[in-house]
Amino acid sequence: MQQHITKLRAAIGALLLAAAPAFAGVPEDVTMLQQEWEHIKYQLPAAQQEAQFERLVKEAGVLAARNPNSADVLVWQAIIESTYAGAKGGLGALPHVKAAKKTLEQALAINANALGGSAYTSLGSLYYQVPGWPLGFGDDQKAADMLGKGLALNPDGIDPNYFYGEFMLRKGELDRAEKYLRKALLAPPRPGRQLADEGRRKEIAQLLAQVAAKRQ
């Protein structure tokens, strides 16, 4: 049954893309990318996510090509490609995180305030998750800078606090990690993003459990 639902979603997505030039605009494109990303990340089994994110990367590319000056669409294109890289893993993921970095930099050049500074937050998360030189571009100082800018633009948001908390956890700063993770839990609900909020809160709970375990 799940396989049939996934195929139906893919077919609907393809139809939307085919029909989109006639009636869709940037808000509709962003909403479609958000909803598909949330469905794949939080509702599909891990074994199915790589293939579905690969499909969504292609769809996001079509929408980004049609909206080259939309920072919102570019941010979501980058989020999808970086999430696909995470699902793919290994050295084969590196070209995708590098492409996501470039796309986020393009979004920042267009509108750094788009989506509450999400480009800063997403770029910061890449800087601390990607390996450093010579394999990748990882850089903790740049991560701190980007994540801080994202927090400044959206200080109460669930995502900027979550990623800053995860960054602090990776650095072993447990008190600061817990502070930001608990603030993320208090973030106000995002309209139309219930699935993403629920999924993120589960991830926050997992990180808080790691903080507690490290204190023992």
- Asked if the structure places residue 89 within a domain, the reply is yes
pLDDT at 53 over 60: yes
What is the Cα–Cα distance from 176 to 172, expressed in whole angstroms?
9
Residue 88 has a pLDDT of 94
Domain boundary among 111, 142, 169: 111
Question: pLDDT band for position 26 (50/70/90)?
Answer: confident
Q: Is the dihedral of CA 2, 3, 4, 8 positive or negative?
A: positive
- Whether residues 8 and 92 fall in one domain: yes
pLDDT digits (tens, 9 = 90+) for 86-109: 999 999 999 999 999 999 999 999
Domain boundary among 111, 145, 178: 111
- Asked if the structure places residue 135 within a domain, the reply is no
- Whether residues 7 and 107 fall in one domain: yes
Q: What percent of the chain has pLDDT over 90?
A: 85
- Whether residues 80 and 160 fall in one domain: no
- Asked if the structure places residue 41 within a domain, the reply is yes
- Whether residues 168 and 107 fall in one domain: no
The whole-model pTM stands at 0.87
- Asked if the structure places residue 96 within a domain, the reply is yes
pLDDT at 116 over 60: yes
pLDDT digits (tens, 9 = 90+) for 164-175: 999 999 999 999
- Whether residues 105 and 177 fall in one domain: no
Question: pLDDT band for position 153 (50/70/90)?
Answer: very high
Q: Is the dihedral of CA 182, 186, 143, 148 positive or negative?
A: negative
- Asked if the structure places residue 70 within a domain, the reply is yes
Residue 17 has a pLDDT of 36
Mean pLDDT of 110-127: 98
- Whether residues 181 and 100 fall in one domain: no
Contact assessment for residue 150 and residue 120, using Cβ atoms and an 8 Å cutoff: yes
Host domain of residue 10 = 2-111
pLDDT at 141 over 80: yes
What is the Cα–Cα distance from 127 to 140, expressed in whole angstroms?
6
- Whether residues 20 and 88 fall in one domain: yes
- Whether residues 192 and 102 fall in one domain: no
- Asked if the structure places residue 127 within a domain, the reply is no
- Whether residues 12 and 105 fall in one domain: yes
Q: What percent of the chain has pLDDT over 70?
A: 88
Domain boundary among 94, 111, 128: 111
Residue 177 has a pLDDT of 98
- Whether residues 105 and 160 fall in one domain: no
- Asked if the structure places residue 15 within a domain, the reply is yes
Please state the domain count of the chain: 2
Mean pLDDT score of the chain: 90
What is the Cα–Cα distance from 21 to 18, expressed in whole angstroms?
7
pLDDT at 144 over 70: yes
pLDDT digits (tens, 9 = 90+) for 205-215: 999 999 999 99
What is the Cα–Cα distance from 184 to 159, expressed in whole angstroms?
7
